[in-house]
Structure 1
Amino acid sequence: MRPAKPVRIVVVGDAGVGKSSLITAAATESFSEHPPPVLPPTRLAHDTTPEGVPMVLVDTSSRPEDKANLELACRNADVVILCFDSGRPQSLKRISDSWVPELQRMGVEVPYLLVGCKSDLRQPGQTLQQTVVPTMSRCKLIETCLECSARTLTFVGEVFYYALKAVVYPMAPVFNLQANDGIGALTPLCVKALKRIFLMSDLDKDGVLSDSELNDFQVQCFAVPLQPEELAGVKAVVSQKMPEGVRRGGLTLPGFLFLHTLFIERGRLETTWQVLRRFGYDGALHLSQDTLDEVSFQRSPDQVVELTEVAKDFLSACFEEFDMDNDRILSPAEQDVMYSTSPSRSWSRADEERVLLHGSTPHGVSKQAYLLQWVYKAAIQPSAALEHMLLLGYRGEPSALFSVSAPRRQERKLESARRSVFQCFVFGPAQSGKSSLLRALAGSAEAALPPGKKSALVRQRDQLEEGAVTAVLPMRTDIAQGGEHATTLILSEQSSVDAERMAAGSGAADLAPCDLAILLFDSSSLESVTEALQLLLSVTLVANNNLPCVMLAAKDDLGMSPDVERECAAACASLAMPMPLNVSLRAEDLSQLQRHLLELLQEQEPPVPFTPSLKAAKRYRQLMRKAALYTAGGTLIGLAIFGSYRAYRSHCASKQVEQSSRSDIPQHQVTKARDALLRGEMS
């Protein structure tokens, strides 16, 4: 859990209403008859409140010359306390006439609290509610109102505690004070969150929280079980106000929502927030970063996140649960119900238009397409996939939902492929048929239409390349044990703009996830194949000549011209690549293409073009190896000569010593001469 950030509480109001005295009383628990005009920021330690959050109390001046400091303080505030003098009604009127409009002009969008200072001076017989009702009705942004007295130290601590609670347990995300013709109501996001919590607590899926389920929920959120009389009291209150809130002796979803509405209306906002945070929500009612960080997606660019069998089983169970008519398709209405506990769908409108899923239908999402959605989301946006699976109600260990593949180089050394998701980038000149091919592979009906039958919008999109698409295809391959291995191919179209951006300098990072580059060209156009070859050289250069590539001749039904065939043969011979595979939109060609791509991806040494830059790099490495060999050989020869020379010197020294020993020279001089010879001091 991250350390609590101090809450900045800014106190504003007219001169003389008691701002400085209020802060002094809170900080020192004493009353000062002559406080300074403006106090410096005062910090209250974290142990002064049950929440353990430190506070910084900021005093302000209402003098015109201090307006800049006032505005700076308010813009940095987490909560603003609007003070008035309980003995001066005109200071209260100034709150609605001047202070609130001024704060709105500054753009201060934080909770506002109205505080009546000097409550000991309030006129007898007049209650706080009678005094502030007109102001509260005019200023809808004020969340609550309190009164206090710094002189008698009455409710001073409560003022700042309520200000802290307005930040720690904010009202705006969970409750709309003016909804339904002025009657407060839970916000839509809060309803979604509480519905998810209800469904996760309803273990037997009967739509009712029984006494045991309510007790489990209570222990999970508050670590204290409910006594039988407390359970009966809760259900009695709900059934009295909302008869449909209790059924078969248990609490229904409407009753559960009503109970939290009651908590908020009675000032127990912290109860609802404690429940929300226990189930992983942050202050904006999205799953908190702490919750999502429980799973680490740290990986190198050539690794991919994949769904585990646990994740697939959970998602399949969700599909079966919400396929209420058992037609094996999730209709739009059934998807609305499925995602009724989530702020948004896992598959957005932009995803639907850009990512083509094999098995999609115009009437909804088939089970195959539904699972492909999640495979794609896990590979491209794993954190978003985790968040949406948790919002669907997954209760197990989050880390069990995902696995990370081995690095690509290590993967290719294995005898059989373990990776189940491969990403291919499809490059090609304009009008080469990239979009049409991917739509056909995904089974899109419009791809099979002749150009004259396509809608004007589709024709325009194909021409302008503004509709770059991605096809997600399921494949099944045999494995060594005799079973089958489910594989997914993600084929992403790269427009000419994408290719130019990669070539301009960002390509290495952009190409890192790519397992195979597909170069597509029009088999009837020599210009198209020339552009495709230029793209191939550019892409492989950016990828440091380490990217497997394959060339495809599209529009095979039009026939390949002799000039194109000669150009392809010459280029493939130079690049040590196989001839391009001819493809059309016929079903048998598409099936053959998928098998061919998968075979290339699963090869231990997939085809990397032998480009001029790769040839130059290879020649350079060969020269460096030769230079290293020559250097090593020269070093060995030098060492051998040096060793021979040392041996010769040692032999000469030994002979001279031997001759000296036969003469009349004393023995100690012989020994000294021998040592000198060995040290090289004598010739």
Structure 2
Amino acid sequence: MSSAVQITVIGDEKVGKTSLITTAATESFPEHPPPLLPPTRLPPETTTEHLPILVTDTSSRPEDRQALETAVTQADVIVLLFDTGKSQTIARLNSYWMPLLQQLGVQCPIILCGCKSDLMETDHLTLQELVQPIMSNHRQIETCMECSSRKLIFTGEVFAYAVKAVVNPVKPLFDPHALDGEGQLKELCIRALRRVFTMCDQDQDGILSDEELNNFQIKCFSAPLGPEELTGVKNVVASKMPQGVNPTGLTLAGFLFLHALFIERGRLEATWAVLRKFGYDNSLHLHPDILDSVSFARTPDQGVELTEPALAFLEHCMHRHDVDGDGALSPQEQQTLFATAPDMPWDQEPYTNCLVEVNKSGYPTLEGCLMRWRLMASKEPRSALANILYLGYDGDPASLFTITKPRRQERKPEQRSRTVFKCVMYGPRHSGTTTLLHGIAKRSLDDMQPCSAAITSVNVSSGGSAAAATAGNAPSTSGSSSAESEVTLIAECMSDGDLERLLSSPGAAEDLATADVAAFVFDTSSPESFREAHLAMMRAAEASGNCLPCMLIAAKDDLTMPAELEKECGAVCAKLGIAPPVGVSRADVTDLPAQLLATALRPSHAIPETPSLQISRQYRRMLKTTYLEFQK
């Protein structure tokens, strides 16, 4: 910590607040303490952390309520006192003080302290029985201690432990009452330590050999373990947990047992030293400074993509967790993959309703899993960075991502480096968008499910051919090279509500600038469906600043389009200067991804001639004419 640890002492009148602070500061008991002490600094030598400490005394009188509230809301840790000889002060912990702290939204650690232990009439066990229900009901309470200011018993230790509760808190790591009164490591702590173990297990055999254990010791504590110390560590584990060691070294179970033992014996600083060396903050997530080391600053028309080193690392991780070798990850294998992360990111939006390629059992293939990673990098690059680091990547974080060039540059074939393209798709109700998304993701149409997006791979050369077909005699996007490469297409579907929120927001132009192409779907047999799609396309085109490539998709193409609608559709497309709708049937969506990509890569014939675009072009022509006449 860079500043003093703020400790606020609270409790009922005459429980000994002022006496405790004075005794800790002066090592002498005040026979006639003042009613209230000013903020008091304790010397750094008070604790092993050698941190400056500022202790705030408080009054529980009603007229001093405002000062009390200010002091507790500014505290790093609160010491809540009660008189061990007065049961009513213990009762008020539960009836008054803890509800008050909850009401004020206090989140910092709380230390219960029974003062005047030299006058305590009840035995120690009875006191613990009285306090235990309070601690069970309020998980913010770190521990309960006893002290005597008059006898100078544990007065300094109260504040030393309060500092430890801030610097090395036990709550994120350990639950002392988890299993019938026996403590155990908390889930987040287990996940963090599993990641540490995995990163130290260089040969990935699930065992920390003597050499790996020594390297771990040097990394975390800057000192090696001698042969006798190594043997001693393994003997301690073997005596309590035989499965924690084997002839080649320490297992994960043994590694976790050692840290539980450290914590139970009050050696929290050892476990926290390990966790902080591997980048964790007090919430057992990667420290924000680590994630901030990679800049994702970009303009709306630039994207974030995974680099080859990132993709190679992810492929290695997924192959390692594909234990049955079926080329896909089952739910259990996915859970194992993310067992070193705080949670399972794919159980959250937008990944739960995003369709990717799956095998016959419905499990995402390894390629489908990579698609999810590409989606995460595109939409939530900071989350993608965190999760790759949680998997155990220990290289330069900045090497994992690349920022693409602005889209105008990317549309030049010789400068193209972008490998992920985004399509926003809208269709009125019952227009068939869900069917299209399933087809794009190569998913069975016999098992339709609600979805909001689909991801697939598209051959760039196919995109070029489709572009030529879509744009008349436009040249192929693949240039003169016949080499083929694949890119990723992310198709996101918007509901009526999503579209309305997007188009009515002040940042609509920037939001639409993240898309490479927009597709508007309508039911081939429904004139009303076409008109809704047409209106949505016009609004989106104008909201984007008339720079969004658009295409119409006539879904359910196996149905007959009414002659009147066919005529209306042709007139609309001719007026807007865009290609006729792409016909797609339920049975065949194969060519649609390539056609979407083609429109994204060759947008010149896909920008609708909206009224605002026509006015803009007329204005530019007028300026040009005026300029030429002026030059004459």
Q: TM-score range by the shorter chain?
A: 0.7 to 0.9
- 1: CA distance between counterparts of 2:23 and 2:513? 62
Deviations 1:506-540 (A, max 9, x none): 42232121111112222222222222222221111
Whether the 8 Å CA contact 1:412–1:605 is kept in 2: the answer is no
Maintained 8 Å contact 1:25/1:156: yes
2:500 corresponding residue in structure 1: 500
**Cα separation, partners in 2 of 1:605 and 1:46, compared to 1, 3 Å:** farther
Change in 2 beyond 3 A, CA 1:584/1:517: same
Q: Which residue of 2 aligns with 1:62?
A: 60
Any conservation in 2 of the 1:242–1:255 contact (CA below 8 Å)? yes
Question: Among residues 96, 99, 102, which one is paired with 1:102 in the alignment?
Answer: 96
Is 1:575–2:576 an aligned residue pair?
Answer: yes
Question: Quick check: 179-188 or 501-510, which moved more?
Answer: 501-510
TM-score of the two chains, using structure 2 as the length reference? 0.88
Shift of 1:428: 2.7
Counterpart position of 2:542 = 541
Of 286-295 and 129-138, more deviation after overlay is shown by 129-138
Shift in alpha-carbon separation, 1:172–1:200, aligned structure 2, 3 A: same
**Amino acid in the other structure paired with 2:611:** P
Shift of 1:136: 4.3
The one-letter code matched in structure 1 to 2:503 is: A
1:16-415 equivalences under 5 Å are 16-27=14-25, 32-43=30-41, 51=49, 53-67=51-65, 69-84=67-82, 89-91=84-86, 93-106=87-100, 107=102, 110-117=108-115, 132-140=127-135, 142-146=141-145, 155-348=154-347, 350-351=349-350, 353-359=352-358, 361-415=360-414
> How far apart are residue 245 of structure 1 and its match?
1.5
1:564 is matched with 565
1:615 shift after superposition:
0.8
**Superposed displacement of residue 355, structure 1:** 0.7
Per-residue deviation, 1:129: 5.2
The one-letter code matched in structure 2 to 1:97 is: A
Q: Which residue of structure 2 aligns with residue 673 of structure 1?
A: none
Kindly tell me: are residues 26 and 554 of structure 1, through their superposed partners in 2, closer, same or farther at Cα, counting changes over 3 Å? Answer: same
1:520 partner SS: strand
Change (3 A) 1:629 1:161: farther
- Which is helix-richer, 1 or 2? 1
Partners in 2 of 1:436 and 1:304 — Cα distance?
28
State the secondary structure of the residue aligned to 1:552: strand
Superposed CA offset, 1:321-345 (max 9, x none): 1111212222222222222222222
| Letter of the 1:103 counterpart | W
1:668 alignment counterpart: none
Residue 263 of structure 1 deviates from its aligned partner by 0.6
Structure 2, unaligned stretches of length 5 or more? 462-477
Which secondary structure does the structure 2 equivalent of 1:178 belong to? strand
- C-alpha deviation, 1:30, in angstroms: 6.3
Kindly tell me: are residues 219 and 357 of structure 1, through their superposed partners in 2, closer, same or farther at Cα, counting changes over 3 Å? Answer: same
Which residues of 2 match residues 578-617 of structure 1 at below 5 A? 578-587=579-588, 590-603=589-602, 605=604, 607-617=606-616
Matching residue's letter, 1:566: K
**In 2 relative to 1, CA 327–228 (structure 1 residues): closer, same or farther, beyond 3 Å?**
same
- AA matched with 1:501: R
Residue type at the aligned position of 2:186: T
1:122–1:279: structure 2 CA closer, same or farther, 3 Å change rule? same
Shift of residue 443, structure 1, vs aligned partner: 2.2
Cα separation, 1, equivalents of 2:617 and 2:403: 33
Distance 2:336 2:502 in 1: 42
**1:489 maps to what in 2?**
489
Whether the 8 Å CA contact 2:328–2:358 is kept in 1: the answer is: no
CA shift, 1:152, in A, is 7.5
Q: Return closer, same or farther for 1:25/1:330 CA change in 2, 3 Å cut-off.
A: same
Distance in 2 between the 1:236 and 1:353 partners? 46
**Please, which runs of 5 or more residues in structure 1 have no aligned partner?**
459-466, 634-683
Partner of 1:637: none
509-518 vs 155-164, which moves further? 155-164
- Go from structure 1 to structure 2 and tell me whether the alpha carbon gap of 1:541 and 1:6 turns closer, same or farther (over 3 Å shift): farther
Does the CA contact (< 8 Å) of 1:355 and 1:470 recur in 2? Answer: yes
Closer, same or farther: CA 187–81 of 1 in aligned 2, 3 Å: same
Question: SS at the partner of 2:85?
Answer: helix
The AA in structure 2 aligned to 1:299 is R
Q: Offset of 1:37 from its aligned partner?
A: 0.8
Amino acid at match of 1:612: P
* Cα distance in 1 for residues equivalent to 2:600 and 2:43: 60
TM score, norm. by length of structure 1: 0.82
- Larger mean CA deviation between 71-80 and 249-258 belongs to 71-80
2:45 & 2:293 partners in 1: Cα distance? 28
After superposition, the Cα gap between the structure-2 partners of 1:442 and 1:131, relative to the gap in structure 1 and judged at 3 Å, is closer
Query: Larger Cα Rg: Structure 1 or Structure 2?
Result: 1
Matched residues in 1 for 2:154 and 2:126: separation?
18
1:556/1:5 Cα in 2 relative to 1: closer, same or farther (>3 Å)? Answer: farther
Residue 523 of structure 1 is matched in structure 2 by: 524
The one-letter code of the counterpart of 1:80 is I
| 1:509 and 2:510 aligned | yes
409-418 or 108-117, which deviates more: 108-117
Deviates more, 1:471-480 or 1:303-312: 471-480
Aligned CA RMSD, in angstroms, stands at 2.9
In structure 2, what is the Cα distance between the partners aligned to 1:73 and 1:249?
54
CA deviation string 1:370-400 (max 9, x = no partner): 1111111111111111222222222222222
Q: Distance in 2 between matches of 1:561 and 1:78?
A: 72
Q: Percent identity?
A: 45
Q: Are the structure 2 counterparts of residues 128 and 419 from structure 1 closer, same or farther at C-alpha, using a change threshold of 3 Å?
A: farther
Shift of residue 21, structure 1, vs aligned partner: 3.1
3-state SS of 1:365 partner = coil
Query: 1:216 deviation in Å?
Result: 0.8
| TM-superposition CA deviations, 1:25-80 (whole Å, max 9, x none) | 44566665544211233355878755465543221223354455445544554322
CA contact (8 A) 1:19 1:59 kept: yes
Deviations 1:535-557 (A, max 9, x none): 22111110111111112222211
Check conservation: 1:315, 1:371, Cα contact below 8 A. Answer: yes
2:465 aligned partner:
none
CA contact (8 A) 1:473 1:488 kept: yes
Shift of 1:227: 2.2
Matches of 2:359 and 2:351, distance apart in 1: 10
SS at match of 2:545: coil
Q: What secondary structure sits across from 1:426 in the alignment?
A: strand
Distance change >3 Å, CA 426–CA 83, structure 1 → 2: closer
Q: Is the 8 A contact 1:358 1:471 kept in 2?
A: no
- Equivalent AA in structure 1 for residue 179 of structure 2: N
**Code of the aligned partner of 2:520:** L
Does the 8 Å CA contact 1:468/1:494 hold for their aligned counterparts?
no
Q: Does 1:621 align with 2:589?
A: no
- CA–CA distance in structure 1, aligned partners of residues 363 and 380 of structure 2: 23
By how many angstroms is 1:131 displaced? 8.1
Partners of 1:303 and 1:407 within 8 A in 2: yes
Residue type of the alignment partner of 2:486: A
> C-alpha displacement at 1:618, in angstroms?
1.1
| Distance across 2 between alignment mates of 1:482 and 1:577 | 28
Cα distance in 1 for partners of 2:324, 2:163 equals: 50
SS of equivalent residue, structure 2 residue 392: coil
- 1:4-35 CA deviation, whole Å, 9 max, x = no partner? 46543221234334322332344566665544
Q: Is the 8 A contact 2:351 2:372 kept in 1?
A: no
Q: What is the CA-CA distance between 1:559 and the residue it aligns to?
A: 2.2
